[in-house]
Chains A and B, each alone.
Chain A
């Protein structure tokens, strides 16, 4: 099955907000066993390891939708399954269950295509201009031996750009938008600081104006002052571009700053979901209460 990719749609369709990204009952099992392996895992059992097969349930039964222009947060402690969700959506990892739809990616006939069922090459094609990822580790999203401009040239040439001058101009525009000094654009990313590398990743992620960007702990590991600058930038970019985003973090201040709505994950499951400020104000699930309590510490 090859997807029919229609011209991208943005914003409102027929007066109601369209869905940019829809995730239904996503599940990922690392190790042996099918759905039966999931039994006996999750928050109520306080474990992610299947008692029957020993598989790690990376995530299970995760559903959410993101509207165009919306930024959705996913919070949870390390190991709760946040990155697994991102990787399954991005296609970095194969999912074990569920479905993922991206606006405008349809099957012949017009019904939404399930990304999880697409051929690997079709999934990779989506990463060129529809779905971008910013990783916690810049080495995953960038080729550190290549210059900042060259890293941005990659998605551009993949999308068919063949004019050196225009590629360079586009790279320069993106880098100035993400506040990377242009006199550094020809230096290998290896020579950049951590904060600067994240800015290059952001510029690359925006290269072909994607509909959705997945940000996995984009500021984790940066010094607080550097992280604050990058967060400010991300907030401005999301606002300016109207790109739909999923922001993953273990840090409530990041989620609070970037998102209006968020999910709380624990042992691979979503335990609570709501408006970010309300959730911070009045968490319902005991695990959320613990998280918020620790953050407010």
Chain B
């Protein structure tokens, strides 16, 4: 199991049959960036992003972090849009396994490192687990300021007035804060981060979490972190409560109902006759619950039998 302390230690010797993607000095540099990010929660640490066998913007930042932090015999989960079976996730999983002495799983409870694009697992993650998020746009102030020097100054001085103005404008124009994914959050009372590209539903689990979150943006060459037990406050006004996505209709197997616990993040899928059906976005979690309830369908079996 990889812990923050492990990041400080020497890497495991790479077995010969593996074909490493990152050399040991690159890994060390990325781990250093991760440690800096942990030491200054929410601060975007620049790092020398390497060429990866995936296109930048397709998880290259997350992949570099995963490759740099996994230790021998670690268990890794990779998923995309909540799905372990997606093409991109399968590709990344294959790359990681061919490069490092790790095994893979779909069950986040078994994983030491969970690399993800759009979701935080519905399961509660615990001490020692690392969530690696693939980030397309790391700069939360991108929408309100373009000048790089000014952006740096705003973060340095915690001058987030322009961000607040954009939230004010959003409410004035639309009656609500419309930001759905990547909701801006204040980390540790100091830095504002973009929680790209996870939905609002996944923001509360980041607050005072037991696990470590590492955000990697390969194209933008930035790494930032939420260490365990750190405050993560969605930016919002005192009289405009932060709200997560609501379950408006039951999911297709009926296990998730509006206003019932546990909720889950549902996505709209086209049904067989063109109608819209709702399904859990986290396919592994959904399949396990259906297995328990004896409601296993074809898709759930697929989810449980992802080719690892």
Contact = CB atoms under 8 A, between A and B. Distances in A.
A3 interface: no
A158 B159 contact: yes
A163 B161 contact: no
Given A124-B157, A147-B172, A150-B172, A162 B238 contact: yes
Given A147-B172, A186-B172, A124 B159 contact: yes
Chain B: number of interface residues, binned into ranges: 10 to 19
B165 A164 contact: no
A191 interface: no
A154 interface: yes
A15 interface: no
Contact of A147 (B157, B161, B169, B239): B169
A40 interface: no
B238 A149 contact: no
B242 interface: no
A5 to B, nearest CB: 16
B239 A163 contact: yes
B159 A149 contact: no
Interface residues of A, number: 19
B172 A149 contact: yes
Given A147-B169, A149-B172, A186-B172, A164 B162 contact: no
Interface string A124-148: 1000000000000000000100110
- Centre residue among B164, B165, B171 by max chain A CB count within 10 A: B165
A157 interface: yes
Contacts of A143: 165
Contact of A164 (B159, B160, B161, B240): B240
Contact of A146 (B159, B160, B165): B165
| A interface secondary structure, majority | helix
A149 B160 CA distance: 17
A167 B168 contact: yes
Nearest to B156: A121
Given A150-B168, A153-B164, A164 B239 contact: yes
A210 interface: no
Contacts of B168: 149-150, 153, 157, 164, 167
Given A163-B238, A164-B239, A158 B161 contact: yes
Contacts of A153: 164-165, 168
A165 interface: yes
Given A162-B238, A164-B237, A155 B172 contact: no
Given A164-B171, A164-B237, A150 B165 contact: yes
Contacts of B237: 162-164, 167
Contacts of A151: 165
A56 B237 CA distance: 48
Contacts of B238: 162-164
Contacts of A186: 172-173
A44 B157 CA distance: 45
B15 to A, nearest CB: 51
A150 B159 contact: no
Contacts of B165: 143, 146, 150-151, 153-154, 157
Contacts of A157: 160-161, 164-165, 168
Interface in A12-35: none
Contacts of A162: 164, 237-238
A125 B238 CA distance: 23
B162 A154 contact: yes
A176 B134 CA distance: 48
A121 B165 CA distance: 20
- Centre residue among B168, B171, B172, B239 by max chain A CB count within 10 A: B168
Nearest to A151: B165
B159 to A, nearest CB: 7
Contacts of B173: 186
A79 to B, nearest CB: 29
Contacts of B164: 153-154, 157, 162
A277 B156 CA distance: 48
A165 B162 contact: no
A155 B239 CA distance: 19
A188 to B, nearest CB: 9
A157 B160 CA distance: 8
B169 A146 contact: yes
A162 to B, nearest CB: 5
14 contacts: A146-B165, A146-B169, A150-B168, A153-B165, A153-B168, A154-B162, A157-B161, A158-B159, A162-B164, A164-B237, A164-B238, A164-B239, A167-B237, A186-B172
Report the 6 A-B pairs with minimum CB-CB distance, sorted nearest first. A157-B164, A164-B237, A158-B161, A153-B168, A163-B238, A150-B169
Given A153-B165, A158-B159, A164-B237, 14 more contacts: A124-B157, A143-B165, A146-B169, A149-B168, A149-B172, A157-B168, A162-B164, A162-B237, A163-B239, A164-B168, A164-B171, A164-B238, A165-B239, A186-B172
